[in-house]
Amino acid sequence: MNRLSESRLFQRFWDIAGAASIRIKVLGIVLGVIFLLGFFITLQLRGALWSTLEHELVHQGDAIALTVAQQTALMARSDNRELMAHLIEEYRLHYSDANHNTIVDYIVIVDNAGNTVVETYAPYVDAQALAESPYHASPGQVIQLTFPWGGVLEHATPLNNELVLRLGLSEQNILNTVNTVTIQIVSITLVMVGIGLVAAFFLTWILTKPILSLVDATKAVAAGDFSQRVPRWANDEIGELASAFNVMTSALEQADRERGEREALREKYIRGVIQAQEEERKRIARELHDSTSQSLTSLLVGLTALENSSESPAQTAQIKDIRQVVSATLEEVHSLAWQLRPSVLDDHGLLEALHRYISDYQRRHNIQVDFVEHGLDERLPLALETGIYRMVQEGLTNIARHAKAQNASVLIERRNGKLRVIIEDDGRGFDPSVVPTGEHNLGLQGIRERAQLFGGKLTIESAPGQGASLFIEIPLEADMEPMQLEQGL
């Protein structure tokens, strides 16, 4: 459980730290190092300085205590307590003035039983606290005491066999000196923090500037702009990365150029094939109409005349049967010629041609088709109309051959500078991620290639058992002349 909690805490910390930018990380590391270094240096210096000053104060206290004890010992023999009190007061004031680096809090002379003989102390010293402080120092010993007014180093020096001098030196000077040095160290640390911030900011700028340039260039490359190059800032690892990136984009640019050339060549071939196909369709439709249809019509007229002039019932019946076959063949020829190249498309436009085609489609395949159009008040260029007609024709043909549908719909819409064609059915559907095989794939590929020739695209939405939808979107350029679209076919 503890390991799981630690792992979660670490993961949480890493999520927060990992989300910070490199600049924030570097600044945080620099500031952390400076603060930790300043903190530990301050602690070490305070401890070392306090120990040194305290050691010096002990030596000073020993010297002062010895001096006072020697001078006071002479008077202690005469037991002149008033003179002793006056003398130790003068010594206290003398060693507490500005010329000495010491502050004498008190001087007390006690007997072997610890009773006070004479004493003197500074005004801020609490006499009661001093009196209640037990005398536990041995002659020649230095102890550290803590009173309400501060810390004291007490020196015990014997005057004679009966009296001992207690001299208390204040640690206030040590505290003031240590605090002053601490403030200086903190000030230096803050200055170092400022310098560290500037240095870290400059360092992170050096580090992140080429990385950000690489990020921007990478986004541009991802958007398809392979002309991006980044400068090599230095000969370090980031410089090597910039050079490798430039080599990569150069290779991508060359590959994209070659792909574009291949695509342009492919579109040229496809355009030529489709144009030749349309021209051949026109020629065959014209031949069927002008030659085959006329011949069948003449044959039908002759059979009608022969039937009318025949006097044999059996012969008349045979002629009638032949005439009906010829009539059906003539209708098939007319239908075939119309499917190859409906003349109504050239004469009356896309909508009329689709209406007639869909009407004939419903009759031949018994599939109900709902046809809707919006925004096509004016005719489109003939090449685009032909392309849309062929795409709708191929889409409905696929439905009749593969979808097993009962209903279908065709929507043609012109809006916001685009032409949208949607062909839907309620058939068995298929998985668009699985490439269809056979005629179905050829039909969809033909629709896609025709859409691409006009700068458009085909999107397929389908699922097994849920029908299929073909979305064709073609941009319409406002300044494009009809002849340009004619050449696009």
Residue type at 25 in one-letter notation: K
Domain harbouring 443, CATH code: 3.30.565.10
Would 37 be classed as within a structural domain?
yes
Strand segments, DSSP code E, in 58-204 are 104-111, 116-121, 142-147, 150-158, 163-170
Would 426 be classed as within a structural domain?
yes
For 374-389, write each residue's pLDDT tens digit.
988 888 888 888 889 8
Contacts for 49 with CB less than 8 Å, ≥ 6 apart: 177, 178, 181
Name the nearest CA neighbour of 168 among 98, 92, 113, 100: 92
Is residue 357 classed exposed, middle or buried when 0-12, 13-18 and 19+ CB atoms within 10 A define those classes?
buried
> Sign of torsion, CA 374 379 380 385?
positive
Would 75 be classed as within a structural domain?
yes
Give yes or no for a contact between 227 and 221, defined as CB atoms under 8 angstroms apart.
no
According to DSSP, residue 143 is labeled E
The predicted structure's pLDDT at residue 115: 82
Q: How far apart are CA 414 and CA 94, in angstroms?
A: 108
Residue 135 token pair? 């005398």
DSSP codes, 275-294? HHHHHHHHHHHHHIIIIIHH
| Cα 136 to Cα 103, 130, 141, 248, 404, distances in angstroms | 22, 13, 10, 85, 114
Would 213 be classed as within a structural domain?
no
Beta bridge pairs of residue 411: 372, 422
The predicted structure's pLDDT at residue 219: 87
Give yes or no for a contact between 140 and 156, defined as CB atoms under 8 angstroms apart.
yes
The predicted structure's pLDDT at residue 488: 43
Q: How far apart are CA 202 and CA 207, in angstroms?
A: 9
Would 325 be classed as within a structural domain?
no
DSSP codes, 453-480? HTT-EEEEEE-TTS-EEEEEEEE--TT-
Q: Cα–Cα–Cα angle for 337, 341, 345, nearest 5°?
A: 125
Name the nearest CA neighbour of 221 among 195, 201, 247: 247
Would 58 be classed as within a structural domain?
yes
Contacts for 156 with CB less than 8 Å, ≥ 6 apart: 65, 137, 138, 139, 140, 141, 142, 143, 164, 165, 166
Domain harbouring 109, CATH code: 3.30.450.20
Q: Which of 164, 188, 212 is the last residue before a domain boundary?
A: 188
DSSP H or E run through 389: helix 382-398
* Residue whose structure tokens are 């301050």: 42
Q: How far apart are CA 270 and CA 288, in angstroms?
A: 26
Q: How far apart are CA 291 and CA 285, in angstroms?
A: 10
The predicted structure's pLDDT at residue 482: 39
Q: How far apart are CA 140 and CA 145, in angstroms?
A: 16
DSSP H or E run through 209: helix 172-222
- Per-10-residue mean pLDDT for the chain, 489 residues long? 64 66 76 84 88 89 88 77 87 87 88 83 85 67 85 87 87 89 87 83 78 83 82 78 85 84 74 68 65 69 73 75 76 66 74 88 90 88 85 90 91 91 92 66 81 88 90 74 41
Q: Could you list the residue range(s) of the whole structural domain that residue 357 is in?
A: 349-476
Would 410 be classed as within a structural domain?
yes
Q: Which of 188, 216, 237 is the last residue before a domain boundary?
A: 188
Would 448 be classed as within a structural domain?
yes
Q: Which of 188, 213, 233 is the last residue before a domain boundary?
A: 188
Residue 485 token pair? 């679209």
Domains held by the chain: number: 2
The predicted structure's pLDDT at residue 487: 43
Contacts for 322 with CB less than 8 Å, ≥ 6 apart: 303
Give yes or no for a contact between 178 and 53, defined as CB atoms under 8 angstroms apart.
yes
